[in-house]
Amino acid sequence: MKLIRFGSPGAEKPGILHQGVRLDCSTQFPDWDRNFFNSGGLPRLRALLESGAHLPEVPESERWGAPVARPGKVVCIGLNYSDHAAESGMPIPEEPILFQKGANTVVGPYDPILIPRGSTKTDWEVELGIVIGQDARYLDSEADAAACIAGYCISHDVSERAFQLERGGQWTKGKSCDSFNPLGPWLATPEEVEDVQDLEMALAVNGVPMQKGNTATMVFGCTYLVWYLSQFMTLEAGDLISTGTPPGVGLGMKPPQYLKAGDVVELTIAGLGRQRQVCRQA
């Protein structure tokens, strides 16, 4: 299944993408949120679809929202691609590097990126996102972790490098500006993804390829990350994990290159669709 949400910001409704058509599920479910996932919502949604129930089409004019409701938390993994660590001149981590970004950064896949006031170093990062499907704490194994994954999506971990690295070295400060996590366009449930550790991913700015990579070069794989995080915190259903980025970020270029108002950013991950954002001044 491919879960989507649609409608104006703050008033999104749940739906699915079926054979390329958006269908409205709002008469059957309130939203794709923590309660939906924790209460066995995915099996109920699957049963509804298999029953052949009529679901109205979503008008093409409706905005694409993030495919899940505002998460309780957004946990990110730093330097999780071996080739990106090399690009950054940093050693491959022995354990996952964790940071969080504000949950209010999550926006739709085609919403604008707002360049923060005073920013000169707003950067791009295409990432694979994992959405948690049930509350999880102290998982025993990666197999248990796999059972806790609701699905996968494109997660754009936008970053302001000066805020992140030059203003006290606090990553959250450079990661939590408004609009800094476009998500979607859909959440693909695990059976939709043949091999999550072999997905081509790419990002372009103004039509120029910048990032190209594959989830095969992740240092720590998806199920390991879910297991690992559960040893330190309760992962709640609907939480988002952004799993790191491949090489090609603006910070790593010589000289560095950053986003400005009017720039167009396009992201793809195989099987998970495409994002497009136009940068605007906040």
Give the torsion sign (CA, 228, 229, 233, 239). negative
CA dist 281 and 220 (Å) reads 35
DSSP string over 146-182: HTTEEEEEEEE--EEHIIIIISSS-HHHHH-STT-EE
Average pLDDT for consecutive 10-residue bins of the chain (282 residues)? 98 97 98 98 97 96 98 96 77 93 98 97 98 98 98 98 89 95 98 98 98 97 98 98 96 95 98 98 96
The whole-number pLDDT of residue 82 equals 84
Strand ranges for the chain from DSSP E: 2-6, 13-18, 21-24, 64-65, 74-78, 97-101, 106-107, 113-115, 122-123, 126-132, 149-156, 159-160, 181-182, 187-188, 200-205, 208-214, 240-242, 264-269, 273-281
CA dist 21 and 226 (Å) reads 31
Could you identify the residue written with the tokens 């938390």? 73
- Could you tell me if 17 and 186 are in contact, meaning their C-beta atoms sit under 8 angstroms apart? yes
- Could you tell me if 145 and 136 are in contact, meaning their C-beta atoms sit under 8 angstroms apart? yes
The SS3 of residue 8 is coil
CATH superfamily of 69-281: Fumarylacetoacetase-like, C-terminal domain (3.90.850.10)
Where in the chain are the domains?
A: 2-64, 69-281
- Quote the Cα angle for 93-83-260, to 5°: 105
Q: What is the DSSP letter of 63?
A: P
CA dist 91 and 219 (Å) reads 11
The whole-number pLDDT of residue 91 equals 84
Q: What is the CA radius of gyration of the chain?
A: 18
Residue 11 burial (CB count, 10 A): 9
CA dist 243 and 93 (Å) reads 14
Q: pLDDT tens digits, residue range 103-155?
A: 999 999 999 999 999 999 999 999 999 999 999 999 999 999 999 999 999 99
- Quote the Cα angle for 200-106-184, to 5°: 35
How many residues would you count in the chain?
A: 282
